[in-house]
Amino acid sequence: MTERAQGPARQEEFAGRMLRLLNDACLGHLCSLGHRAGLFDVMAGLPPATSARIAEAAGLDERYVREWLGGMTVGGIVEYAPEDGGYRLPPAHAAVLTRDAGPDNMAAFTQYLAMMGEVEDEVLAAFRAGGGVPYSSYPHFQDLQAEETARVYDSSLVDTIVPLVPGLTERLRDGIDALDIGTGQGHAVNLLARAFPRSRFVGMDISEAGIGEACAEAARWELDNARFEVADTAELTGSYDLITAFDVIHDLARPARTLTAVANGLRADGVFLMGDIAASSDLSENVGHPLGPTLYALSVFYCMTVSLAEGGAGLGTVWGRQTALRMLREAGFDEVGTREVPGDILNVYYVARKGR
Ligand SMILES: C[S@@+](CC[C@H](N)C(=O)[O-])C[C@H]1O[C@@H](n2cnc3c(N)ncnc32)[C@H](O)[C@@H]1O
């Protein structure tokens, strides 16, 4: 059948897809609210309950909770029994929606939707005039990012991610100098400093708010082997045995210069551990990526755009393996391998050395 003959059926099918898209996008916003208001956590701990009981347990206004429950019910996230007005969050759904779910909590991730909405006008202006959107337009980013990545670091940084580099756990136990660039709120650094008290850690970020939170956590945990600096990674100085960058390089205005500074900042047997987005640099290979549209959306609404705001490279979230490997080699890393954590569809870890 020709494409013209297929037309009406194809159009109807696609309209159906767009309808599902609209409903799912709206459900995403309701999930974000449910996460922030603690509703999923409360419902997971309750038997089937009325909206009044749920609102009371969550300390929220019943009218809002009832309307939210309506959306959750028609969206298939919550079950509703009209006989007694009971709402129930099935355990299988709670397992991917609650704070107890840790890294499996997908409701937390939906908070990025609201962040994208906050900057849509500025992003649209950049589509028309070029340039980008500055960090100052994202007042909630540091908190959101820290919440998102803390769930991963808490569950796997020390026991799963560090061991991706052979011998690194032992070296950290013995005592080495480590630097984390683009550390955000520094939770990764503080976790490592607590786990490896003989090593010395520095966290670096341009965000004063991020570094403020990092210092506060280090003080709460009484760490004397973690310190933090407000600084541009492209200008990093000092020498280290380990440099890490988690979800940072593709956001930078000057990624190539930063990678060269990292290579120059490593001691002879030093290692660079770079966690970044698991994707291809070839668009056609990203079709079917389980997070494909999310990654390109995050790029347009944040990663590419904050870099372009500084007149930067604008690599984008989906710069991909091939570009990352090329840039690491160009920066002076002769040995580069990639590692993945089973079950983590978002990240790939590059282990890079200057050669021995
Ligand atoms: C996506 S966040 C990742 C934060 C943290 N590594 C994590 O995993 O949660 C990227 C971080 O890079 C920081 N950043 C961007 N440009 C920078 C630069 N030139 N120098 C230092 N940090 C920078 C941002 O402020 C932000 O905290």
Ligand 1 neighbourhood includes 233 CB (under 6 angstroms): yes
Instruction: Grade residue 76 by pLDDT with cuts at 50, 70 and 90.
Output: very high
Over residues 203-238, the pLDDT tens digits come to 999 999 999 999 999 999 999 999 999 999 999 999
Q: Does ligand 1 lie within 6 Å of residue 28's CB atom? A: no
Tens digit of each residue's pLDDT (9 = 90 or more) over 60-75: 999 999 999 999 999 9
pTM over 0.85: yes
- Nearest Cα neighbor of 271 from 347, 328, 227, 194 is 328
Indicate if the pLDDT at residue 1 is higher than 70.
Answer: no
Q: Is 103 in the pocket of ligand 1 (CB under 6 A)?
A: no
Q: What is the mean pLDDT of the chain?
A: 96
**340 falls in which pLDDT band (50, 70, 90)?**
very high
Calculate how far, in angstroms, residue 253's C-alpha sits from the geometric centre of ligand 1: 11
> Does residue 34 line the site of ligand 1, with CB under 6 A?
no
- CA-wise closest residue to 109 among 66, 144, 153: 144
- The answer on pLDDT for 269 being more than 80 is yes
| pLDDT above 90 for 5 | no
Angle 98-161-177 (CA atoms, 0-180°, nearest 5)? Answer: 125
What is the average pLDDT across 162-189? 98
* d(CA 210, ligand 1 centre) in Å: 9
pLDDT computed for residue 271 by the predictor: 98
Residue 354: per-residue pLDDT: 94
Percent of the chain predicted with pLDDT > 90: 94
pLDDT at 348 over 70: yes
Output b/e per residue, 215-228; b: 16+ Cβ within 10 A.
bebbeeeebebbbb
pLDDT digit string, tens, across residues 103-155 = 899 999 999 999 999 999 999 999 999 999 999 999 999 999 999 989 889 99
User: Which ligand 1 atom lies nearest to the CA of residue 153?
Assistant: 8
Question: Model confidence at 343, in pLDDT bands (50, 70, 90)?
Answer: confident
The CB of 248 under 6 Å from ligand 1? The reply is: yes
pLDDT in tens, 27-59: 999 999 999 999 999 999 999 999 999 999 999
CATH 3.40.50.150 in the chain is located at 113-353
Residue range(s) of every CATH 1.10.10.10 domain in the chain: 3-109
User: At 249, which amino acid appears?
Assistant: I
3-109 — its CATH code? 1.10.10.10
Q: Whose CA is nearest to atom 15 of ligand 1?
A: 252
Q: Which helix (H) or strand (E) holds 274?
A: strand 266-277
Average pLDDT estimate for 1-27: 90
Q: What is the pLDDT of residue 182?
A: 98
Q: Note the pLDDT of residue 6.
A: 79
Instruction: Tell me the sheet residues that pair with 337.
Output: 351
Return the residue whose CA atom lies nearest to atom 12 of ligand 1: 182
Tokens of 212: 């403020």
316 lines ligand 1 (CB under 6 A): no
Checking if the pLDDT of 356 tops 70, the result is no
Task: Provide the token pair at 79.
Answer: 């079950």
Å from CA of 271 to ligand 1 middle: 20
pLDDT, tens digit (0-9, with 9 covering 90-100), for 192-212? 999 999 999 999 999 999 999
CATH of domain 113-353: 3.40.50.150
